Chain A
Amino acid sequence: DQQVKQNSPSLSVQEGRISILNCDYTNSMFDYFLWYKKYPAEGPTFLISISSIKDKNEDGRFTVFLNKSAKHLSLHIVPSQPGDSAVYFCAAERGGAQKLVFGQGTRLTINP
Protein backbone atom coordinates (compact mmCIF):
# COMPACT_ATOMS: atom_id res chain seq x y z
CA ASP A 1 0.00 0.00 0.00
CA GLN A 2 1.88 3.03 -1.30
CA GLN A 3 0.62 5.87 0.91
CA VAL A 4 2.85 8.49 -0.71
CA LYS A 5 3.30 8.47 -4.46
CA GLN A 6 5.49 10.37 -6.86
CA ASN A 7 4.23 9.35 -10.26
CA SER A 8 6.99 10.93 -12.32
CA PRO A 9 10.24 8.95 -12.07
CA SER A 10 12.14 11.67 -13.89
CA LEU A 11 11.86 15.30 -14.97
CA SER A 12 14.10 17.34 -17.26
CA VAL A 13 14.03 21.15 -17.10
CA GLN A 14 16.04 23.86 -18.75
CA GLU A 15 18.23 26.00 -16.53
CA GLY A 16 16.43 29.17 -15.43
CA ARG A 17 12.94 27.72 -15.90
CA ILE A 18 10.57 26.47 -13.23
CA SER A 19 10.74 22.88 -11.99
CA ILE A 20 7.51 21.42 -10.59
CA LEU A 21 7.65 18.13 -8.73
CA ASN A 22 4.41 16.47 -7.67
CA CYS A 23 3.40 14.15 -4.87
CA ASP A 24 0.11 12.50 -3.91
CA TYR A 25 -0.84 10.84 -0.64
CA THR A 26 -3.70 8.66 0.49
CA ASN A 27 -3.61 8.81 4.29
CA SER A 28 -5.65 11.76 5.55
CA MET A 29 -4.00 11.41 8.98
CA PHE A 30 -0.73 12.81 7.67
CA ASP A 31 -0.23 16.29 9.11
CA TYR A 32 3.29 17.21 8.10
CA PHE A 33 4.98 16.96 4.73
CA LEU A 34 8.61 17.29 3.77
CA TRP A 35 10.79 17.35 0.67
CA TYR A 36 14.25 15.84 0.70
CA LYS A 37 16.95 16.08 -1.92
CA LYS A 38 19.44 13.28 -2.51
CA TYR A 39 22.72 13.30 -4.38
CA PRO A 40 24.50 10.02 -5.26
CA ALA A 41 26.51 8.52 -2.40
CA GLU A 42 24.94 10.92 0.10
CA GLY A 43 22.01 10.66 2.45
CA PRO A 44 18.84 12.65 1.82
CA THR A 45 19.03 16.27 2.94
CA PHE A 46 16.04 18.23 4.14
CA LEU A 47 14.83 20.89 1.75
CA ILE A 48 11.50 22.34 2.86
CA SER A 49 8.41 21.30 4.79
CA ILE A 50 4.80 22.26 5.31
CA SER A 51 2.27 21.67 8.03
CA SER A 52 -1.24 20.58 7.13
CA ILE A 53 -2.60 23.83 8.59
CA LYS A 54 -0.93 25.76 5.78
CA ASP A 55 -1.30 25.64 2.02
CA LYS A 56 2.00 27.24 1.06
CA ASN A 57 5.51 27.56 2.41
CA GLU A 58 8.32 29.40 0.72
CA ASP A 59 12.07 29.36 1.26
CA GLY A 60 14.13 31.23 -1.29
CA ARG A 61 13.82 29.52 -4.66
CA PHE A 62 11.75 26.69 -3.19
CA THR A 63 8.01 26.76 -2.59
CA VAL A 64 5.83 23.89 -1.45
CA PHE A 65 2.08 23.92 -2.06
CA LEU A 66 -0.38 21.69 -0.24
CA ASN A 67 -3.89 20.89 -1.48
CA LYS A 68 -5.49 18.88 1.33
CA SER A 69 -8.77 18.24 -0.46
CA ALA A 70 -6.89 16.67 -3.35
CA LYS A 71 -4.27 15.08 -1.08
CA HIS A 72 -1.62 16.58 -3.32
CA LEU A 73 1.51 18.58 -2.79
CA SER A 74 4.02 20.07 -5.15
CA LEU A 75 7.49 21.55 -4.96
CA HIS A 76 8.31 24.50 -7.19
CA ILE A 77 11.90 25.47 -7.86
CA VAL A 78 12.43 28.77 -9.62
CA PRO A 79 14.74 29.55 -11.23
CA SER A 80 16.18 26.06 -11.66
CA GLN A 81 19.94 25.75 -11.45
CA PRO A 82 22.32 22.93 -12.51
CA GLY A 83 23.08 22.18 -8.85
CA ASP A 84 19.41 21.29 -8.37
CA SER A 85 19.95 18.10 -10.38
CA ALA A 86 19.27 15.33 -7.87
CA VAL A 87 16.61 12.86 -6.76
CA TYR A 88 13.78 14.53 -4.83
CA PHE A 89 11.72 12.62 -2.30
CA CYS A 90 8.39 13.66 -0.89
CA ALA A 91 7.73 12.40 2.65
CA ALA A 92 4.86 12.56 5.11
CA GLU A 93 4.40 11.96 8.83
CA ARG A 94 1.65 12.14 11.43
CA GLY A 95 1.56 13.41 14.96
CA GLY A 96 5.19 14.53 15.10
CA ALA A 97 6.31 10.92 15.33
CA GLN A 98 9.11 11.50 12.80
CA LYS A 99 8.43 8.13 11.20
CA LEU A 100 8.58 9.30 7.64
CA VAL A 101 6.67 7.69 4.78
CA PHE A 102 8.49 8.40 1.54
CA GLY A 103 7.47 8.47 -2.09
CA GLN A 104 9.52 6.69 -4.73
CA GLY A 105 11.42 9.79 -5.74
CA THR A 106 11.72 11.92 -8.88
CA ARG A 107 15.06 12.39 -10.62
CA LEU A 108 15.35 16.03 -11.65
CA THR A 109 17.84 16.97 -14.34
CA ILE A 110 18.54 20.62 -15.07
CA ASN A 111 19.91 21.15 -18.55
CA PRO A 112 22.19 24.12 -19.29
Chain B
Amino acid sequence: ETGVTQSPTHLIKTRGQQVTLRCSSQSGHNTVSWYQQALGQGPQFIFQYYREEENGRGNFPPRFSGLQFPNYSSELNVNALELDDSALYLCASSSGGAHLTNEQFFGPGTRLTVL
Protein backbone atom coordinates (compact mmCIF):
# COMPACT_ATOMS: atom_id res chain seq x y z
CA GLU B 1 0.00 0.00 0.00
CA THR B 2 1.58 3.28 -1.10
CA GLY B 3 1.36 6.29 1.14
CA VAL B 4 0.53 9.90 0.33
CA THR B 5 2.89 11.42 -2.21
CA GLN B 6 3.34 15.05 -3.21
CA SER B 7 5.09 16.77 -6.06
CA PRO B 8 7.23 18.68 -6.53
CA THR B 9 9.36 18.50 -3.39
CA HIS B 10 10.62 22.06 -3.71
CA LEU B 11 9.54 24.97 -5.85
CA ILE B 12 10.73 28.54 -6.31
CA LYS B 13 8.43 31.14 -7.84
CA THR B 14 8.31 34.91 -8.08
CA ARG B 15 5.57 37.25 -6.90
CA GLY B 16 2.55 37.34 -9.15
CA GLN B 17 3.15 33.92 -10.67
CA GLN B 18 0.82 30.95 -10.41
CA VAL B 19 1.68 27.53 -9.00
CA THR B 20 0.11 24.06 -9.01
CA LEU B 21 0.95 21.49 -6.37
CA ARG B 22 -0.04 17.83 -6.66
CA CYS B 23 -1.01 15.14 -4.22
CA SER B 24 -1.69 11.44 -4.67
CA SER B 25 -3.82 10.08 -1.87
CA GLN B 26 -3.33 6.78 -0.15
CA SER B 27 -5.04 3.82 -1.78
CA GLY B 28 -8.69 3.56 -0.74
CA HIS B 29 -8.92 7.14 0.54
CA ASN B 30 -11.55 9.46 -0.91
CA THR B 31 -10.86 12.61 1.11
CA VAL B 32 -7.96 15.00 0.66
CA SER B 33 -7.19 17.99 2.86
CA TRP B 34 -4.60 20.67 2.19
CA TYR B 35 -2.69 22.55 4.86
CA GLN B 36 -0.22 25.44 4.79
CA GLN B 37 2.60 25.38 7.32
CA ALA B 38 4.50 28.64 7.65
CA LEU B 39 7.93 28.58 9.24
CA GLY B 40 7.70 28.03 12.99
CA GLN B 41 3.94 27.53 12.91
CA GLY B 42 1.58 24.61 12.91
CA PRO B 43 -0.23 23.52 9.75
CA GLN B 44 -3.25 25.65 8.88
CA PHE B 45 -6.27 24.14 7.11
CA ILE B 46 -6.80 25.44 3.57
CA PHE B 47 -9.62 23.26 2.22
CA GLN B 48 -10.84 19.70 1.91
CA TYR B 49 -12.14 17.67 -1.02
CA TYR B 50 -14.46 14.70 -0.61
CA ARG B 51 -15.41 12.66 -3.66
CA GLU B 52 -14.36 15.48 -6.03
CA GLU B 53 -16.36 18.21 -4.25
CA GLU B 54 -15.03 20.94 -1.98
CA ASN B 55 -16.08 20.04 1.55
CA GLY B 56 -15.04 22.95 3.69
CA ARG B 57 -12.59 25.79 3.49
CA GLY B 58 -10.38 27.59 5.96
CA ASN B 59 -9.56 31.27 6.11
CA PHE B 60 -7.76 31.52 2.77
CA PRO B 61 -8.54 33.90 -0.13
CA PRO B 62 -10.13 32.70 -3.40
CA ARG B 63 -6.76 32.74 -5.18
CA PHE B 64 -6.21 29.43 -3.38
CA SER B 65 -8.21 26.85 -5.30
CA GLY B 66 -8.21 23.12 -5.73
CA LEU B 67 -9.39 20.10 -7.61
CA GLN B 68 -9.92 16.47 -6.85
CA PHE B 69 -9.88 13.93 -9.65
CA PRO B 70 -11.88 10.69 -10.06
CA ASN B 71 -8.88 8.70 -8.77
CA TYR B 72 -9.00 10.98 -5.67
CA SER B 73 -5.66 12.63 -6.38
CA SER B 74 -5.73 16.38 -5.90
CA GLU B 75 -4.23 19.68 -6.95
CA LEU B 76 -3.76 22.92 -5.08
CA ASN B 77 -3.52 26.03 -7.24
CA VAL B 78 -2.38 29.40 -6.00
CA ASN B 79 -2.70 32.46 -8.24
CA ALA B 80 -1.00 35.83 -7.92
CA LEU B 81 1.62 34.55 -5.52
CA GLU B 82 2.63 36.73 -2.60
CA LEU B 83 5.76 36.60 -0.47
CA ASP B 84 3.68 35.35 2.50
CA ASP B 85 2.67 32.28 0.49
CA SER B 86 6.16 30.90 1.11
CA ALA B 87 5.50 27.82 3.22
CA LEU B 88 5.39 24.05 3.38
CA TYR B 89 2.17 22.78 1.78
CA LEU B 90 0.92 19.52 3.19
CA CYS B 91 -1.65 17.20 1.77
CA ALA B 92 -3.46 14.64 3.94
CA SER B 93 -5.74 11.83 2.87
CA SER B 94 -8.31 9.84 4.77
CA SER B 95 -11.25 7.57 4.14
CA GLY B 96 -13.72 10.36 4.75
CA GLY B 97 -17.15 10.38 6.25
CA ALA B 98 -18.19 11.81 9.58
CA HIS B 99 -16.25 9.28 11.62
CA LEU B 100 -14.10 10.44 14.48
CA THR B 101 -11.51 7.71 14.12
CA ASN B 102 -10.66 8.34 10.48
CA GLU B 103 -6.97 9.02 10.70
CA GLN B 104 -5.43 11.47 8.27
CA PHE B 105 -2.20 10.43 6.58
CA PHE B 106 0.11 13.25 5.57
CA GLY B 107 2.45 13.49 2.65
CA PRO B 108 5.99 14.89 3.02
CA GLY B 109 4.92 18.30 1.70
CA THR B 110 5.99 20.72 -1.01
CA ARG B 111 8.26 23.55 0.06
CA LEU B 112 7.24 26.69 -1.86
CA THR B 113 9.49 29.74 -1.86
CA VAL B 114 8.17 32.99 -3.35
CA LEU B 115 10.80 35.60 -4.22
B43 in contact with A104 (CB, 8 Å): no
**A25 in the interface, Cβ–Cβ < 8 Å?**
no
A51 in contact with B100 (CB, 8 Å): yes
Interface size on B, residues (CB 8 A): 30
Which single member of B45, B101, B105, B109 contacts A100 (CB below 8 Å)?
B45
Which single member of A4, A89, A98, A104 contacts B48 (CB below 8 Å)?
A98
Pair count A-B, CB < 8 A: 64
A103 in contact with B42 (CB, 8 Å): yes
B108 in contact with A101 (CB, 8 Å): no
Looking at A36-44, A58-66, A78-86, the stretch in contact with chain B turns out to be: A36-44
Chain A 74-108 against B: per-residue CB contact (8 Å), 1 yes, 0 no? Answer: 00000000000000010100011111111111000
Interface size on A, residues (CB 8 A): 26
By a CB distance below 8 angstroms, the chain B residues around A103 are 42
* Supplied contacts A4-B42, A44-B43, A101-B45, 5 more A-B pairs, CB within 8 Å: A43-B108, A51-B100, A98-B33, A100-B104, A102-B43
Residues of A near any B CB (own CB < 8 A): 4, 6, 31-32, 36, 41-46, 49, 51, 89, 91, 95-105
25 CB-based A-B contacts, threshold 8 Å: A32-B100, A42-B108, A43-B92, A43-B105, A43-B106, A43-B108, A44-B106, A45-B106, A46-B103, A95-B98, A96-B97, A96-B98, A96-B99, A96-B100, A98-B31, A98-B48, A98-B94, A98-B102, A100-B35, A102-B35, A102-B44, A104-B40, A104-B42, A105-B41, A105-B42
